[in-house]
Amino acid sequence: MKRILITGGAGFLGSHLCEKLHNGKNEIICLDNYYSSSKQNIIHLLQNPRFELLRHDITFPIYIEVDEIYNLACPASPVHYQRDPVQTSKTIVHGAINMLGLAKRVGAKIFQASTSEVYGDPLIHPQTENYWGNVNPVGIRSCYDEGKRCAETLFFDYQLQHNLDIKVARIFNTYGPGMHPNDGRVVSNFIVQAIKGKDITIYGDGSQTRSFCYVDDLVNVIIKFMKTEKGFTGPMNIGNPNEFTMLELAELTLELTNSKSKIIHQTLPEDDPKQRQPDISLAKEKLNWEPKIQLRDGLERTIKYFQSL
């Protein structure tokens, strides 16, 4: 039996990870301050004695005995992370320092949820892990992008200096049941607008692209990554390399929801990346992993979830 700490465990990805790792064998400590989530996502796990909920802000140190740490705590959607950018940087950077300090103290293996945002508005396509990125250090997205870059640096320095067993994954856009309906991410936005019969808002002309990974595929690869030998650290891209324009996503959402909503266009937000597509060769080669659930199937499952809310 392992004792596993999942920071941000009540959030979208964290709650799926709690569910998957909580398999009767492990003891799960789900840590969250509910900044961008609620207990609702994990309430069904609470009756299990091997599942524990801890209200804590990772910008403050914590002392507990654990074997593994999955560090996911951080608001991920622009609406949430731009609401209090100073707190966002603190959560990412102080949070990383506190979690790495804990891992060092107790000898735990530690996973970091990094992001494709470390590539900024990329000048190479698709993005490989050795690309250093094209990031604005002083824009509205910087608290998140630069915060996550600094966290990666901290992880690798702790490994170098203290021989920590680290795993750093760069997660690309992920969607699925459990997403916050008002978090402003494109998949949840389009589905909620389509279900409510409201206009579907596309920023810019809709030709910008993203690659969308269904949450089950992503959680599976995170767990696989964590099982690799010490020294296999990443950074490793994880996501679905199939690329869609925002216009294609909007049209597919309209089709699957049978919605009569109209597509309208709004001004593109500052520093919005034009294209994103992970090169997942490393994950394929090392973990023998690639996503199984394609967009149409994943969207149908996600639409059902939003309809049920």
Ligand X SMILES: NC(=O)c1ccc[n+]([C@@H]2O[C@H](COP(=O)([O-])OP(=O)(O)OC[C@H]3O[C@@H](n4cnc5c(N)ncnc54)[C@H](O)[C@@H]3O)[C@@H](O)[C@H]2O)c1
By CB under 6 A, tell whether 192 contacts ligand X: no
Q: Which one of residues 89, 98, 115, 208 is an interface residue with ligand X (CB under 6 A)?
A: 115
Query: Smallest Cα–Cα separation from 112: which of 199, 170, 183, 26?
Result: 170
The 247-286 site mask, x for binding ligand X (CB under 6 A), equals ----------------------------------------
- The reply on whether position 89 binds ligand X by CB under 6 A is no
Cα–Cα distance list, 3 to 88, 167, 228 (Å): 27, 17, 18
**CA–CA dist 31, 157 (Å, integer):** 25
For 197, residues 6+ apart whose C-beta sits below 8 A from its C-beta are 259, 260, 261
Give the C-alpha separation, 187 to 184, whole Å: 8
Residue from 4, 6, 53, 72 in contact with ligand X (CB under 6 A): 72
Nearer to ligand X, 8 or 234 (CB): 8
* Short-list 302, 294, 216, 300, CA closest to 19: 216
Pick between residue 73 and residue 299 the one whose CB is nearest to ligand X: 73
Residue 90, CA atoms < 13 Å, CB-side half-sphere = 9
The question of whether 144 is a catalytic residue gets the answer yes
CA distance 141 to 135: 9
Indicate whether 36 belongs to the interface with ligand X (CB under 6 A): yes
Q: Which of 21, 22, 30, 35 binds ligand X (CB under 6 A)?
A: 35
Instruction: Please identify, using beta-carbon distances, which residue of 64 and 199 lies nearer to ligand X.
Output: 64
**69 near ligand X, judged by CB under 6 A:** no
Q: Which is nearer to ligand X, 109 or 276 (by Cβ)?
A: 276
- Residue of the chain from 32, 121, 152, 216 that contacts ligand X (CB under 6 A): 32
Residue 23: both structure tokens together: 């398999």
Contacting ligand X (CB under 6 A), which of 28, 42, 73, 282?
73
Angle between helices 186-196 and 246-257 (to 10 degrees): 40
Residue nearest to ligand X (CB): 11
For the window 136-175, what string marks contact with ligand X as x by the rule CB under 6 A? -----------------------------------x-xx-
Smallest distance, ligand X to C-beta of residue 128, A: 17
Catalytic residue among 144, 158, 175, 214: 144
Distance of alpha carbon 116 from alpha carbon 124, whole angstroms: 13
Angstrom distances, CA of residue 176 to CA of 14, 70, 303, 309: 12, 20, 9, 13
Determine if 37 is a binding residue for ligand X (CB under 6 A).
Answer: yes
Which amino acid is it at 207?
A: S
Q: Which residues bind ligand X (CB under 6 A)?
A: 7-8, 10-14, 32-37, 57-59, 72-76, 80, 91, 95, 113, 115, 171, 173-174
